[in-house]
Structure 1
């Protein structure tokens, strides 16, 4: 889990979090992986409708040299996200009644979170200010290398690394 220090949830933050997870954890556990499957809610910073997310995702795929497949949950179905509803309540409980007086306090609390089924968390702080209101490049839609699936293309697509 990555947290952003004093700024907003943006598509750039979502993609930086994915990048940091891969270089710090993913590549260690999945060294032969050629692609990643990411399940995303339908709204927020990684919305299926936002081209800025697709542009940031493509940059991440390029930087990692990995195909990133996105499968968005349709609107109002995030309750079926297996990670969110099996793990986030435990994070909330770990933080109940605590005054967040520093980023380190939050990091420590979240790092201690686990479930009886063995889910644990690893926390990295992304110490960057993320700009809100960014727009995708003027020609991104025309030259976009994102490959949309034939089945439910607005929710399922791939960012394939470009040279």
Structure 2
């Protein structure tokens, strides 16, 4: 019998017996199995059952000495070291008061903004007369149903009574243009990125112990500058175009990106188009209030010979912009 099959056999027998035997019988049974397996028996039994090597060796000694089972007292239910929450009556209440979300931002709270650190929690509990380590704080929190979590964006804020009607209007307008075979695009500026050897989220495969070296501080490199992506998404063709600027997100840059998309992609796909619908956010370079955006857009319409219509998403709904989702 191979070692793997031996481990499975021992584990199967142990799982069948463990619920009905106490600690003393458990270690003697493990010792008997180990003795039957020979020199490697202690290691194999410990590996299969999860019992420690000293426990199995202790069972071996008891079998050799022939001491009756009645001499050994099995641990009674509830025996062993008492939990800290049972010995310290105020520990749980004091701990929950520290992590209570209602007191997290309270200036009088001793742990505002740091209440999720078990090290800080243990330090503050020690100041209150509770002696326990950061690891124990974590165990107590887990037993009480706590877990380490980050913030989640779920609060939308006030909902405008016409919000549904606004989106229904936008949807109807997009369908109207698409039914006529006219292009509909969604535009948006994406997150600015520093250019150079800066730290960024994510991981990649490298030789062990040789992580890529990046700068400690995220200061703009005067020579390389920043990358400013501005995207155009063709909602009918499910294709996109992104231009990357190196100065600022301005209406002139936004219009230049739309012009490039039209020359490189739009005019090829829609050679007979007479109109264009642009869906944009209410802020940024393509803001509904940006005068330069409207001026540059008129220049582009004259240049391309297209009737241009712009529909802006309501404030606070930019995440529904197709360009942002893409």
Which has more radius of gyration?
A: 2
The structure carrying a bigger helix percent of its residues is: 2
Match of 2:298 in 1: 58
Unaligned runs of 5+ in 1: 88-163
Match of 2:28 in 1: none
Structure 1 Cα separation of the partners of residues 256 and 297 of structure 2:
9
TM-score normalized with structure 1 length? 0.50
Q: 1:8 to 1:58 in 2, by over 3 A?
A: same
Alpha-carbon distance, 1:74 to partner = 1.2
Match of 1:29 in 2: 269
Aligned with 1:32: secondary structure?
coil
Mapping 1:11-50, distance limit 5 Å: 11-50=251-290
Q: Choose which of 300, 313, 316 in structure 2 pairs with 1:76.
A: 316
Structure 2 Cα separation of the partners of residues 5 and 77 of structure 1:
25
Unaligned runs of 5+ in 2: 1-240
Aligned with 1:7: secondary structure?
coil
Aligned pairs, number: 86
Structure 1 Cα separation of the partners of residues 288 and 273 of structure 2:
24
Structure 1 Cα separation of the partners of residues 259 and 321 of structure 2:
21
Q: Give a deviation string over 1:92-144, Cα, whole Å, max 9, x none.
A: xxxxxxxxxxxxxxxxxxxxxxxxxxxxxxxxxxxxxxxxxxxxxxxxxxxxx
Aligned with 1:68: secondary structure?
strand
Structure 2 Cα separation of the partners of residues 82 and 3 of structure 1:
17
Alpha-carbon distance, 1:65 to partner = 0.7
Mapping 1:106-121, distance limit 5 Å: none
- Choose between structure 1 and 2 for higher RCO, CA contacts under 8 A separated by at least 6 residues: 1
Q: Give a deviation string over 1:1-23, Cα, whole Å, max 9, x none.
A: 33244211100011011111011
Q: Give a deviation string over 1:66-93, Cα, whole Å, max 9, x none.
A: 11110000111112212321x1xxxxxx
Structure 1 Cα separation of the partners of residues 289 and 303 of structure 2:
23
